[in-house]
A and B are shown apart, each in its own frame.
Chain A
């Protein structure tokens, strides 16, 4: 048994060390606390809220309690009986008095078009009716004699629902409760997710192809030249996104600078002006230019750290210049390539303003639909579900990157 080690004042060394560590740890926690609180309230909490909103569905259960209770035991095979109609009348009148009927009607209308006026119209009349109700309801609006109406109400009774996610992948429940594709005239989201992916890949590859030589040149030129050229990369980077997007409109529109130039030089005549913008290619061009610095900067910072002597060594050992470049230089730049591609791709996938301004009809991306449901249709549940899927995609991508390249090799500068 060795003697216990103590400090000068006689405390056991272990305890003294532990208390010193603890103070340090508390101090460290306190230091990151503001950041953590900030991240929590500005990032984690809103995301959790969004995910919750994509499945929450309290309106029907809250404002039509009697109908929901009766429909619980309903088999959904045929239009329910008088009991359900009496409960419906009671709920509609109460909800109308509380001025909540519009919300209920809007929610149901998202699922089955036309139900809004069925609900609000019947609610106006129901207050004056005496039992029996069934006939009066069906007389007022024939939709009450329709199985779909009741199935819709029953389906939306639970306070947690998956209908938003189904809608976000162009699917819905049919009258028998099976999941099926919606009509081909109404399908849009799956295609749009695919197109968003595809356009983001095209933008990422274009950025890499354009950005690699630029970064290489910046990294290999003497500092006084490269600093000057660096300004050319940074200046657009610091310019407002909106300004850059609108300049592309000025340049590319059919009466724009580029078309004028081509007509003036006689490459095309006035009737053949080319549609360069307000379509998918316009979006890709503008987004590539806007996202290019996000590729160049990580590449540059990685290339700057590769000693030129590696290449010289390879060449002195007999490698052709190109072989030396390909086998020695390029593998060394991979962390930068990975970082740049990941950064550009994730930024591109959620791009909104540029496609909205220059996308025209076939250059829209999924974020434009999310904005549409946030701002115009007010279907926030569906917007949240679309956002949730997008978030899921990015998380998968990040996981994939970590598997393939390793996140610890990510170098941003």
Chain B
């Protein structure tokens, strides 16, 4: 009798659980938005998610990932899509669109600027694509711990590669992207020639030769949260990093870090909708809302990534918690932008398989 009773309970519980599982995706009142975590996701939650939920009543589930298209591809190919909106890098947005992993986004859903400028003119050039809408400009820069050096502080990209003048370990992202560009810039190549040179075997050799000079002092990182940690632990004296992460460590944790903007490699982050997303309509609404003038400006008051809308820039104020004036910390601030170089997504989409191989082989030997 007892066994029977237990069995019934078990079956009932199972049925309930199954029912709950089946019911969850059917509700249109929730949306899964996936981003990179940490201070960056926090800025998005504050500036986009909360106001959007307040306005529409649609609940937003925030998930983290570490970039790339693997999860999106797996979900689409398995036919069980869980994610709606994903925050991706430019090269992944273009590639995902080419491979049919993403929904097309109609640019007419994007609202105009407050003064009536149509969205197409308000967004900076090259930030609206077939399947993706840009939200921020971010940058790979290098930063150092001010307390580690006495006297002259590093100011140029060449200083990063100069372990004689500035002794200590270096942190770098474990990927050829941005590292090769920075190596060439440090080697004296003018910005306009960097990708031209990288397209030739001699240019690639030159970049790796420059990387050779500091290979033994490099600590490699993979996630955006690692470089500020490496700096704080004293594991490295300087590290390449995403500018917002370093800013966050300075603003929220009072770390004695400083950013060197010379030779920054800037890039876009964009919103995409996964092909066959369960809440496609809400996903489109969310993207239209989040890339509006005010939310983009609000986001920039939580972390120092530049908004892609021109009309947002005048609305950026002070950091929401630390009260720091945000505009001078944007990658696009004129003083920071002088020697900036834009990540060439066409180049990387074409050559990343080859260069990743070469990089991995170089790393292992």
Contact = CB atoms under 8 A, between A and B. Distances in A.
B356 interface: yes
Given A361-B364, A375-B68, A378-B69, A106 B357 contact: no
Contacts of B95: 102, 106
B187 interface: no
Chain A, interface residues (CB within 8 Å), range: 35 or more
A100 B169 CA distance: 45
A101 interface: yes
B70 A378 contact: yes
B351 A114 contact: yes
Given A278-B219, A362-B364, A106 B70 contact: no
B115 interface: no
B233 A255 contact: yes
Contact of A369 (B351, B360, B365): B360
A360 B218 CA distance: 9
A360 B97 contact: no
A60 to B, nearest CB: 15
A226 interface: no
B353 A109 contact: yes
A192 B350 contact: no
Interface string A85-118: 0000000000000011111011001100111110
A376 B351 contact: no
Contacts of A117: 346, 349-350
Given A253-B235, A360-B220, A106 B99 contact: yes
Given A103-B99, A117-B350, A374 B70 contact: yes
Contact of B353 (A101, A185, A379): A379
A264 interface: no
Contacts of B364: 188, 191-192, 195, 361-362, 364
B98 A188 contact: no
A187 B361 contact: yes
A227 interface: no
Given A278-B219, A375-B68, A376-B356, A113 B100 contact: no
B362 interface: yes
A61 B364 CA distance: 36
Interface in A355-370: 360-362, 364, 369
Interface string B13-45: 000000000000000000000000000000000
A106 B68 contact: no
A195 B363 CA distance: 14
A372 B98 CA distance: 21
Interface string B327-363: 0000000000000000000100111111011101111
A188 B356 CA distance: 11
Chain B, interface residues (CB within 8 Å), range: 20 to 34
Given A102-B95, A102-B99, A360-B220, A109 B350 contact: yes
A186 interface: yes
Given A186-B357, A188-B361, A372-B360, A360 B219 contact: yes
Nearest to B275: A99
A108 to B, nearest CB: 11
B73 A102 contact: no
A196 to B, nearest CB: 11
Nearest to A250: B233
B114 interface: no
Nearest to B234: A255
B219 A102 contact: no
Nearest to B99: A102
Contacts of B352: 377
Contact of B98 (A105, A110, A185, A369): A105
A253 B229 CA distance: 13
Nearest to B352: A377
The interface centre, meaning the residue of A102, A115, A187 with most chain B CB atoms within 10 A of its CB, is A102
A385 to B, nearest CB: 14
Contacts of A161: none
Contacts of A149: none
A188 B349 contact: no
B359 to A, nearest CB: 10
Nearest to B98: A102
Contact of A99 (B100, B215, B357): B100
A356 B98 CA distance: 30
A364 B364 CA distance: 8
Contacts of B233: 253, 255
A214 B352 CA distance: 49
Interface string B181-221: 00000000000000000000000000000000001001110
Given A187-B361, A360-B219, A255 B235 contact: yes
B100 A376 contact: no
A110 B360 CA distance: 15
A101 B98 contact: yes
Nearest to A359: B220
A148 interface: no
A185 B365 CA distance: 10
Contacts of B97: 102
Interface in B142-182: 169
Contacts of A116: 349-350
Contacts of A372: 356, 360
Nearest to B97: A102
Contacts of A109: 350, 353
Interface in A178-207: 185-188, 191-192, 195
Nearest to A110: B353
A115 B349 CA distance: 10
A113 B219 contact: no
B70 A375 contact: yes
A185 B220 contact: no
Contacts of B357: 186, 188
A120 interface: yes
25 contacts: A103-B98, A113-B350, A116-B350, A117-B346, A117-B349, A185-B358, A185-B361, A185-B362, A186-B354, A187-B361, A191-B364, A278-B219, A361-B215, A361-B220, A361-B363, A361-B364, A362-B363, A369-B360, A375-B70, A376-B356, A377-B352, A377-B353, A377-B356, A378-B68, A379-B353
Given A186-B354, A188-B364, 8 more contacts: A100-B100, A120-B98, A186-B361, A188-B360, A364-B364, A369-B360, A377-B356, A378-B70
